[in-house]
Structures are given as structure tokens and as C-alpha cells.
Amino acid sequence: MAAINAVVDLGKDGDIAIVTVNSPPVNALSADVRDGLDGAFKAIAGDASVKAVVLVCAGRTFIAGADISEFGKAPRGASLHAVQDAMESAAVPVVAAIHGTALGGGLEVALCAHYRVADARAKLGLPEVKLGLLPGAGGTQRLPRIVGAAKAVEMVTSGTPMAAKAALAAGLVDEIVDGDLTAGAIAFARKIVAEGRPLKKVRDDSSRLGGDAASLAPMFAEFRKANAKKFAGFEAPEANIKCIEAAVALPFEDGIKVERSEFMKLMGGLQSAAQRHVFFAERQAAKIDGLPVDVQPLLVKSVGIIGAGTMGGGIAMNFLSVGIPVTIVETKQEALDRGVAVIRRNYENSAKKGRFSMEEVEARMGRLTPTLALEDLKDADLIIEAVFENMVVKKEIFGKLDSIAKPGAILASNTSYLNIDEIAASTTRPESVVGMHFFSPANVMRLLEVVNGAKTSKQVLATAMAVGKAIGKIGVVSGVCHGFIGNRMLGARQEQANKLILEGARPADVDRVLTDFGFPMGPFQMSDLAGLDIGWSAETSKGVSVRDRLCEAGLRGQKNGKGFYDYDEARNRTPSPVAEQIILDYAAEKGINRRDISDEEILERCLYPMVNEGAKILDEGMAQRASDIDIVWINGYGWPVYRGGPMFWAEHDAGRDKIAAALERMGMDVSPRLKAGF
């Protein structure tokens, strides 16, 4: 085997040339890879003894796409299009041998091979939409020519890959290889040479598109309508659809021009920059600053959960679903039974929707041990306390756990506000105590704030992050402060929202401005959903806030159909006149002169203080990096991903200086970072 360069080799097996890409971690199409492929195909073109070519990748995957880290930088190396042309116009058949994930530019390269074979576990897809992009290397024109326009439009707008078996059925791969992929691909190449099969160019065959522009117009119209809500706010899905329409309506070369122009528009836009930022930020969040390389996470083979309420049950499901047994503890049999029943019902509902079988429901439930005895947690590797937010209760539980849990067990609290260090101090092993703050519904929401106490050991912190990953969460490390990263910033937003409705904005105005911005719901819709009476009690209520007054008047939010909004049986909402009057009366009592408040002011007052709080969180070292804050807000609070998170938005859209100036005008204490940079 001869090296073309550091990342591409060219070898031969008799008269079959083998081009191997070896560019860890994911064989992305960096300048070096493109140069290597360019060199390899040039060498092959000059070698008359070659009868066919196999393109294969070393390591864990076939080419996983263009190298995203090169985007936005000056172009370097061979162009991808030149490499694709060289493959497609090769004089001998080219076979792409796919394992792992052939994604984006990777699949687009494979689509320029004349044939494709795949490992049975391989996946093939065009996920560019998730980066605010579209496949810019012919994918929107070639994919529909194989799988049809209807399937292609679904694939490019969802970014969801196709499994090898489905790809075989759709004609996207020609054969599935059992056993060694390279050997299988070589055998396949020999077979097509022996059979004298043609050099199939995907671009030349439009017979599988599924119709012409006129006959497919209703399909596109229907697709847009069905997905309007899902795509709202995003630019990339529509651009992807347009390109598939072009594949149907135009000759290949003209379709490519449409693709190119739409790609360049997206690539130069803020949404793609934001979504690419999020891609890297998500991976960065997993890294713990200053973690010594020799620190290995502990093994977690069994979990104990205290509290079988909504949070405890949701948390338990995460573990049961990935095969980890859970012992769940409650104080009363009735509450325990109710919690277990909710878990079962959730699983059964998923099974009814076809997500998995009823046997799987039983397998998951079989891993759950309900108990009333805290002592039953003595063998658990990880214990997560998920009782209500009360420091006295939590300290008591941790004190007891200290004498029950085995040495080395991790003691975690799901608290969303309280001081982990104070909780840890009720044990003799604060190094084993950590915060694991799940978001509701805990079996669905991807965010996990991992709270690093003053005495939490590095190994325990690393284990909590690793456990999060194992159950499919995105862990973000937070320091100990009131509300940690997410709720602390939420508090800054809520404070302004509460003031705005007294000063003249209506709750529905505040909610509309934030949903127009891209949040799935506004602060008052959120309060209604959570329940206005969380943390409120009739006995202690002093009527000193709008919330107190609403609760005193019997408004509890969605749970009783009355809150800032009235809800009908289908949960449709209309602004509540009762709430409105309570707000007006309260404002009058406080002597507040109500005035018209613009949408712009609502947006600025809700979001700028949040950014400021984020900057303070960085000042205090409570978050490891600004991008972690973005990940918290995108995954825990519905910040629109195409706006990159609050810190990205401040930096690249709203402008840090503008925010700082506005906050000064509001008389707020401004973090110096807002001027200096995050």
C-alpha cells in the first residue's frame, strides 16, 4: 500500500485498486483528505492495469461529511467537486464500501461511485439541515434520483439517516456485506467487472424521481403544510425542499446550480453559523476542564432513586431504558404504587406508538424494584435524591444515606436551586456528593446540569457526566449558585417579565414576543404549565405578588384550567380576564403608571438581563465556558437552536455593546464581560 499523503493510501489487490481514507476521528473531508483522494484517483486514471476501484475508510466510520471546522475559512486544497468528478467519470467502476455513518459530504462522495456496498450496521444520510445547511455537493440532486423525491425531501429536511437494510431496499446501496467489508467490496467489484456491468452514474438516471414537476407539486405542497410548525423559524428546511424541487424540475446541471446558490446563501447566514456553533458546543460541553487524564469514571451498574413523583419516575425511566436496574424509594405505599404505575403507563404508551414491543415494556419494568425502605439502597452505585425542594428534608435524607450507602457510592441530588455544599455537609463524605439536575419531563429532556460541589471529587464529577452520556443526556458542568446556570438566568428573565405586566404589557404580549423569537412558549405559558402554586401555600400566602393573588383567587394554571390564561378541554388558551384584573389592581395598589410597551422593549428587557446573568455566571466561574450556557438554554429551556444560545446571540446578533448600554440605561449592574467579551 502506497501513501498518497498522511490520510489517504492507495493499494492494490490484483487488478482492484483500494483507496483508503484514514483521517480520525470521523474521516471528515478535510483539505488533506480531498487532496489525498484527488491524488489517488489521478494515479488510478494513469494505471491501465486497474479494473475497478474500492473506496473504503479506516477507523470507526466512512466519511462523516465535510470538515465542519473548515467552514467559513479560506478554501484550501483540492475541491470536493473535482474529486467527485474524478470518481464519477473514472473509466473503471468505483465501489464505495460503507461502514459506520456515511453522512453529508461522505454520502455525496459515495453517490459519485458507480456502486455502493455497506456493512449491515451502516447508516447513510444527509444531516446538513441540522447545521442550518443543505447538501452542497450534489446530494440534493443525486439522492432523489435513487430514493425518489418524496423520500429525499423527508431525508434532507429531517437529517435522519437510513439504516443499511432500508438503503438496500431503496437502491441506495447495491449489496450488504457480511464479514470483512473491504474483502466483500473487492469481491463485489470483481463480480461487476466479470459481469461487465455498466458504470452507473446516478446523475444520468431520472427514472426513479417518482414523477415530474407537475405531478409531484401536490406532494411538495402537502409536505410543506404537514411540517410548517416543525420548520417554523428555520431557513434551511425550505432551502432543502427547493433543491429537491429543482432536482425534479430541472436537468441535473441546472439543479446543481440551484443547490450551489442555496447552499452559499445558507452558509453565509447567521442561522447556520449558530447551528454549527451548537454542534461543537455540544461536544465541548462534555469536557471537564482540568480533569487529570488518569481519572476514570466509576462503574455504575445499579441506581437508587429517592422519590417516585414526576421527577423521580422520569429519572428512573432513563436508566431502565438503557438496561440499568433501579431501586425506587417512597415513604408511602400509595405514592410508590402511583409512581410505578405512571412509569408503566409511559412505557405502554410508547409501545402503543410502535417505539418498542410490549416485551420490551416488561423487560424495562422488570428492572425496577419499588420499596419503602431506604436501606434497600445499600448496594446502589449511584443514588439520586428527587424529593421536593426543601433543604431540611434533603439534609435529613443525605444524613441517612451516609449511613446506608456503600463506600464509594455516588450521592446525587436532583435539586434545581439548593446549595449542594450544604447538602453535602450533612454527610461524612462530601467528596461523593454531586448535583444531577434533570429537567422535566426527565425521561425526555436532554439537558442534565451536573453540579460540582466545593468538595465533589473529580472522579465523582466525571462519573456523573459519563452517566449522563450513557442515558443520552447532554451534561453541562455547573458550579454551586442559586438556580445553577439555567434557573439562575431564568430568574433574571422572569423578574423582568413580572415587572413588564405591571408596567403595561399583557402576559399574552410577553409570551407572543418570546414565541415569535423562537421559544416554544413564553414565561406566563410556562408558569401556567408548571402550576402557579408550586412552592405556594394558602397558609403562608401574604398576597405580596401577582402570583400570590392569582393562587389566592383559585387560579392554579393548566392543572385547573385557570391561570394567566383560561384553558378549555382541548387546552386552547385565551387570556384570563380574572388574571388581567388582578394584575391591574395590583399595579394600581403599587402606584405603577401603566403605559404602552413596545415588543422591542419586551424582548430587550427579557433577554438582555439573562445574557448579563450569563456573563456574571462566567465571571464567578460557575460555567466552564460561554458555549456551555448556550447548550443549557437550547436543551433545557427551548432557546431556538438557529439563534445559537443566549451568549452566541449576544456576541453575533444582538451585540454585546448594545446590550451593555441598554442594561446601563435600565440601571442594572452590568458584568464587565459584556464589554470585554466572553
Q: Which is nearer to ligand 3H9, 315 or 465 (CB)?
A: 465
What is the CB-side half-sphere exposure of residue 427 using CA atoms within 13 A?
29
- Residue 328: closest CA among 389, 394, 388, 373: 373
**Positive or negative torsion for Cα 225, 227, 230, 232:** negative
| Stretch of residues binding ligand 3H9 (CB under 6 A), selected from 14-22, 123-131, 219-227, 313-321 | 123-131
28 binds ligand 3H9 (CB under 6 A): yes
Q: Which is nearer to ligand 3H9, 137 or 308 (CB)?
A: 137
| Stretch of residues binding ligand 3H9 (CB under 6 A), selected from 7-15, 103-111, 247-255, 299-307 | 103-111
Helix (H) or strand (E) holding 13: strand 8-13
Residue 105 CB, nearest approach to ligand 3H9 (Å): 3
Residue 27 CB, nearest approach to ligand 3H9 (Å): 9
27 binds ligand 3H9 (CB under 6 A): no
Q: Measure Cα distances from 317 to 97, 327, 366, 371, 536 in Å.
A: 38, 11, 12, 16, 29
Q: Which residues pair with 20 in a beta bridge?
A: 9, 56
Residue 289 CB, nearest approach to ligand 3H9 (Å): 14
Of residues 131, 173, 467, 513, which one binds ligand 3H9 by CB under 6 A?
A: 131
Residue corresponding to grid cell 474529486:
83
Q: Which is nearer to ligand 3H9, 32 or 128 (CB)?
A: 128
Residue 616 CB, nearest approach to ligand 3H9 (Å): 28
- Residue 85: closest CA among 59, 111, 58: 111
664 is annotated as an active-site residue: no
129 binds ligand 3H9 (CB under 6 A): no
Interaction with ligand 3H9 in 392-411: which residues (CB under 6 A)? none
Residue 335 CB, nearest approach to ligand 3H9 (Å): 38
Q: Which is nearer to ligand 3H9, 61 or 157 (CB)?
A: 61
Written as nine digits, the cell of 553 is: 383567587
Q: Which 3 state secondary structure label does DSSP give 358?
A: helix
Site string for ligand 3H9, 58-77 (x = CB under 6 A): ---x--xxxxxx--------
259 binds ligand 3H9 (CB under 6 A): no
Q: Which is nearer to ligand 3H9, 108 or 385 (CB)?
A: 108
Query: Amino acid identity, residue 545?
Result: S
For residue 116, which phi and psi values (nearest 5 degrees)?
Answer: -135, 130
Q: Measure Cα distances from 384 to 305, 306, 327, 329 in Å.
A: 5, 6, 10, 10
- Residue 475: closest CA among 287, 300, 294, 320: 287
Interaction with ligand 3H9 in 280-309: which residues (CB under 6 A)? 280, 283
602 binds ligand 3H9 (CB under 6 A): no
313 binds ligand 3H9 (CB under 6 A): no
How many Å apart are CA 222 and CA 153, to the nearest integer? Answer: 12
Written as nine digits, the cell of 276 is: 454549527
How many Å apart are CA 113 and CA 94, to the nearest integer? Answer: 5
How many Å apart are CA 443 and CA 520, to the nearest integer? Answer: 19
Q: CA-based Rg of the chain, rounded to a whole angstrom?
A: 28
CA 240-246-251 angle, 5° bins: 140
Q: Which residues pair with 369 in a beta bridge?
A: 327
Q: What is the DSSP annotation of 553-576? A: TT--BGGGTBSSEEE-TT--EEE-
Strand ranges in 418-489 using DSSP code E only, listed in sequence order = 433-438, 447-451, 474-478
Q: Which is nearer to ligand 3H9, 27 or 426 (CB)?
A: 27
468 binds ligand 3H9 (CB under 6 A): no
| Strand pairing class (433-438; 447-451) | antiparallel
Residue 475 CB, nearest approach to ligand 3H9 (Å): 13
26 binds ligand 3H9 (CB under 6 A): yes
140 binds ligand 3H9 (CB under 6 A): no
Of residues 36, 39, 93, 105, which one binds ligand 3H9 by CB under 6 A?
A: 105
110 binds ligand 3H9 (CB under 6 A): no
104 binds ligand 3H9 (CB under 6 A): yes
Burial class (CB in 10 A: 0-12, 13-18, 19+), 55: buried
Written as nine digits, the cell of 467 is: 452517566
Residue 134 CB, nearest approach to ligand 3H9 (Å): 7
Q: Which is nearer to ligand 3H9, 123 or 549 (CB)?
A: 123
| Stretch of residues binding ligand 3H9 (CB under 6 A), selected from 22-30, 87-95, 433-441, 576-584 | 22-30
Written as nine digits, the cell of 151 is: 423520500
128 is annotated as an active-site residue: yes
80 binds ligand 3H9 (CB under 6 A): yes
Q: Which is nearer to ligand 3H9, 65 or 636 (CB)?
A: 65
Residue 283 CB, nearest approach to ligand 3H9 (Å): 4
Q: Which is nearer to ligand 3H9, 164 or 329 (CB)?
A: 164
Binding-site ranges for ligand 3H9 (CB under 6 A)? 25-26, 28, 61, 64-69, 80, 101, 103-105, 108, 127-128, 131, 133, 135-137, 139, 280, 283
Catalytic residue annotation? 108, 128
